[in-house]
Amino acid sequence: MKTTESKVTRRKLVSWLGVMSLFAVAGAAFNPWKNKKPKLVKMLTQDGRLVEVDAAMLAATRKKISDKELQTWVKKSS
């Protein structure tokens, strides 16, 4: 009875690494997570409407206003 030994040669190893790297490149080109939805922030307009704004469009320095400032800022429509 003959026993066959399967040897991993350097040529086979390099070819398998090449094939695997092609799959990795193809997977990176088709990245379903690339098209992420923008993060939306709810904000109140001056006339009292609630709108959603992209967070990337806002300035980095934000501060909270007091209730009194908010009551004077919102215009009441009658």
Per residue, the 3-state secondary structure of 2-63, as one string, reads: CCCCCCCCHHHHHHHHHHHHHHHHHHHHCCCCCCCCCCEEEEECCCCCEEEEEHHHCCCCCC
Q: Which residue has the tokens 């990337």?
A: 56
pLDDT at 18: 92
Between residues 29 and 17, which one has the greater pLDDT?
Answer: 17
What would the pLDDT profile of 23-56 be if each residue is shown by its tens digit? 888 877 777 666 677 889 898 888 888 999 988 8
